[in-house]
């Protein structure tokens, strides 16, 4: 279905086209841009609420600043759809997040307007500051550098590190704070409360408007007036808010808060800010999902709703005649509550993803034992370590890709002290349409090299429950459980909890000549392949290894003694991963079987469905079957 943009939007192929329009036409541009996003996302899917909330900010930035010469950096990228549409990708926007289409996030190789690739949060200020300092060095003094960051991303420690550095420079840096009190879930913490104080003080806002009028007319009074106005404004902020301004304490000029949906005022303010040197912050108040009533009302649900009817707001769901398996994240969410009801030492921790990882189930049932710590993976890990020193058993649930941000803390604060922190790594393996910034490709490799760490992966929901139960037992120590995005395979998944012996795999079926060793959910592909091969009289052995560390050495001795050919399958990187662990065992123990490893090659995989990416990487069901047939010399069926 071809979606036609509005009259003005259809004429905008670059920001230069946008800047040819009159200021009074900008309201129509924003209306058409917002409608185009609604039209396309309702039919083709994608992130939704975040981009609707910054339509006016996006339009104003590209209208006022000379992009791409002026450098515009987006934080996370959920909010960059309008940016993509205005920068030459309107006609291919329907391919967003689809296999072979444009990325759902800013990507340097996709457009010169995407100045920095993003996907994880809290990076924009650091990147923009680096660009600004480089421009100073190159004497590009007319160049502007703008970081657009949400109040959720501002809770990340890296954002504060960048603010601290930037305040000590005279870099030409503008930070646009998109304040909607939301990331994916509602924001938490003291910063949220601080921003709320600023935005709700009627007295301050009234005086601030008067001060702003003075600042907007600075050029009429000369440089001394600017200095005086700045002093007056800072003093009023401090006295009315009964506290010093956080950002000005970091030596940023602070402006706002202003209405982030008033396009004409945004343009006027940004034009003024172009002439104020040094680091500055513009605080904009927005509504996530602006312009689509249901998205404004339920912002978490409409962050990425899938396909929906833009008229009625009905989100399309697939209906099944039979019970379907649950998502792994929901099995985690319900199981941790079940475990916590039995064991008062169990606590839950997540860095800003309670609905994404389903810890919200525990947060509702046991609010004093489940914590959303904000977008702060490093803190989440060390906070969990602190809990563990006091006899608690924290389940720290972090997406595999985000776990990379807390790796130093895993090593130093958990494993070196051998503390019983359970890391539940959601979205392990290919994450799908979110693409390379979100693929959980590396956790097997980076976790199994740390002393004291157990590395496990369930093949189904029952094993996830049992691994979680096992990790709570005395002496289990640091424990990683990885599982993928999406559904498992067991509609009847509420099985009795059982302890699994750490480091013990299981035999799915014995076979002849070739053995398939799988790690995690991907083993279900091998089950299907073995059934298919059995019709041709081919019976490979299949072993669900469960643990990449410690390996089940007894089972591996059996396998390498019996089979001359071995295939390993994992939804993770081959370098240093599960297959590498098996090869290390083989070499260390003097075996010489032929081994073929299936998994992610040493390359960057783009976005697409999980099955499309499994096929690209070569470990989809047909790839496993072909490998078995090739290794035993039986013709591959076409």
351 contacts 398 by C-beta, under 8 angstroms: yes
Active-site residue (options: 377, 570, 612, 625)? 377
> Measured over all CA atoms, what is the biggest interatomic distance in the chain, rounded to whole angstroms?
91
Among candidate residues 489, 534, 480, the one with its CA nearest the CA of residue 510: 534
Q: Quickly count: other Cβ atoms within 10 Å of residue 413's Cβ.
A: 21
Measure the CA–CA gap between 159 and 437, rounded to whole angstroms.
18
Q: Is 288 one of the annotated active-site residues of the chain?
A: yes
Beta strands 506-509 and 541-544, pairing class: antiparallel
> Which neighbouring-strand residues pair with 423?
396, 480
Among candidate residues 73, 86, 79, the one with its CA nearest the CA of residue 20: 86
273, 28, 94, 20 alpha-carbon torsion, rounded to 10°: -60
Q: Is 549 one of the annotated active-site residues of the chain?
A: no
- The tokens for 568 are 């390993």
- The tokens for 581 are 């662990």
Q: Is 377 one of the annotated active-site residues of the chain?
A: yes
- Please give the backbone phi and psi of residue 343, each rounded to the nearest 5 degrees, phi first: -130, 110
Active-site residue (options: 237, 405, 465, 546)? 405
Residue partners of 328: CB distance under 8 A and separation at least 6? 426, 458, 461, 464, 483, 484, 485, 486, 487, 488, 521
Burial pattern 54-86, b for ≥16 Cβ within 10 A else e, equals bbbbbbbbbbbbebbebbbbbbbbbbbbbbbbb
107 contacts 182 by C-beta, under 8 angstroms: no
- The tokens for 102 are 């444009």
Instruction: List, in sequence order, the alpha helices (H) in 118-216.
Output: 124-137, 157-166, 190-200, 202-216
Active-site residue (options: 253, 288, 597, 629)? 288
125 contacts 34 by C-beta, under 8 angstroms: no
30 contacts 263 by C-beta, under 8 angstroms: yes
- The tokens for 96 are 């967003």
Among candidate residues 169, 105, 87, the one with its CA nearest the CA of residue 134: 169
Measure the CA–CA gap between 539 and 531, rounded to whole angstroms.
9
Q: Environment class of residue 155 by beta-carbon count within 10 Å: exposed (0-12), middle (13-18) or buried (19+)?
A: buried
Measure the CA–CA gap between 10 and 91, rounded to whole angstroms.
9
Unique residue bearing structure tokens 């013709």 = 635
> Which neighbouring-strand residues pair with 349?
371, 396
Residue partners of 541: CB distance under 8 A and separation at least 6? 507, 509, 510, 511, 512, 514, 515, 516, 559, 562, 563
Across the beta sheet with 145-150, the strand order is 71-74, 145-150, 173-179, 280-285, 253-259
Q: Where are the beta strands (DSSP E) in 244-329?
A: 253-259, 280-285
Catalytic residues: 288, 377, 405
């Amino acid at each position: 279905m071809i979606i036609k943009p509005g009259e003005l939007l259809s004429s905008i192929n670059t920001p230069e086209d946008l800047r040819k329009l009159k200021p009074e036409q900008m309201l129509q541009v924003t209306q058409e841009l917002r409608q185009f996003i609604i039209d396309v996302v309702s039919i083709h899917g994608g992130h939704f609420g975040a981009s609707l909330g910054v339509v006016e900010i996006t339009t104003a930035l590209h209208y006022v600043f000379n992009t791409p010469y002026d450098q515009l950096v987006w934080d996370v990228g959920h909010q960059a759809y309008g940016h993509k549409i205005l920068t030459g990708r309107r006609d291919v926007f329907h391919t967003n997040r689809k296999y072979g289409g444009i990325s759902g996030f800013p990507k340097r190789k996709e457009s010169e307007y995407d100045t920095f690739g993003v996907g994880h949060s809290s990076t924009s200020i650091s990147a923009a500051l680096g660009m600004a300092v480089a421009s100073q060095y190159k004497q590009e003094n007319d160049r502007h550098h703008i970081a657009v960051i949400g109040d959720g991303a501002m809770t990340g420690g890296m954002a504060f590190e960048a603010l601290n550095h930037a305040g000590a420079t005279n870099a030409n840096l503008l930070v646009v704070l998109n304040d909607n009190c939301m990331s994916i879930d509602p924001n938490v913490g003291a910063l949220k409360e601080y921003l709320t104080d600023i935005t709700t003080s009627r007295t301050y806002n009234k005086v601030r408007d008067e001060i702003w009028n003075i600042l907007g007319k600075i050029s009429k009074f000369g440089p001394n007036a600017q200095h005086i106005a700045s002093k007056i404004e800072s003093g009023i902020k401090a006295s009315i808010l009964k506290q010093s301004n956080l950002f000005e304490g970091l030596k940023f000029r602070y402006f706002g808060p202003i209405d982030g949906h008033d396009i004409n005022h945004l343009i006027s303010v940004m034009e003024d800010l172009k002439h104020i040197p040094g680091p500055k912050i513009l605080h904009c108040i927005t509504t996530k999902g602006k312009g689509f009533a249901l998205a404004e009302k339920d912002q978490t649900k409409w962050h990425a709703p899938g396909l929906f009817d833009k008229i009625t707001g009905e989100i399309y769901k697939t209906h099944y005649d039979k019970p379907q398996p649950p998502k792994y994240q929901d099995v985690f969410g319900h199981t941790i509550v079940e475990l916590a009801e039995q064991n008062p030492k169990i606590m839950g921790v997540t860095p800003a993803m309670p609905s994404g990882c389903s810890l919200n189930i525990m947060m509702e049932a046991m609010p004093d034992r489940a914590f959303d710590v904000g977008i702060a993976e490093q803190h989440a890990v060390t906070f969990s370590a602190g809990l563990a020193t006091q006899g608690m058993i924290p389940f720290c649930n972090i997406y595999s890709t985000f776990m990379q941000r807390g790796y130093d803390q895993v090593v130093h604060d958990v494993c070196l002290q051998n503390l019983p922190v359970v890391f539940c790594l959601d979205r392990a393996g290919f994450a799908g349409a979110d693409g390379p910034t979100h693929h959980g490709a590396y956790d097997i490799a980076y976790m199994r090299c740390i002393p004291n760490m157990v590395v496990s992966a369930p093949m189904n929901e029952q094993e996830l429950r049992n691994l979680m139960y096992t990790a709570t037992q005395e002496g289990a120590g640091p424990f990683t459980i990885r599982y993928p995005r999406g559904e498992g395979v067991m509609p009847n998944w509420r099985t009795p909890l059982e302890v699994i012996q750490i480091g013990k795999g299981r035999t799915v079926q014995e076979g002849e000549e070739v053995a398939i060793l799988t790690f995690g959910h991907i083993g279900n592909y091998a089950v299907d392949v073995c059934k298919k091969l059995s019709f041709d009289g081919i019976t490979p052995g299949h072993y669900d290894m469960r643990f990449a560390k410690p390996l089940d050495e007894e089972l591996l001795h059996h396998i390498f003694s019996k089979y001359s050919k071995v295939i390993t399958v994992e939804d993770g990187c081959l370098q240093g991963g599960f297959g590498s662990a098996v090869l290390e065992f083989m070499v260390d123990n003097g075996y010489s079987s032929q081994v073929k490893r299936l998994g992610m090659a040493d390359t960057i995989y783009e976005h697409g469905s999980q099955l499309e990416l499994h096929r690209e990487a070569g470990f989809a069901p047909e790839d496993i079957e072909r490998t078995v047939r090739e290794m035993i010399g039986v013709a591959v069926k076409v």
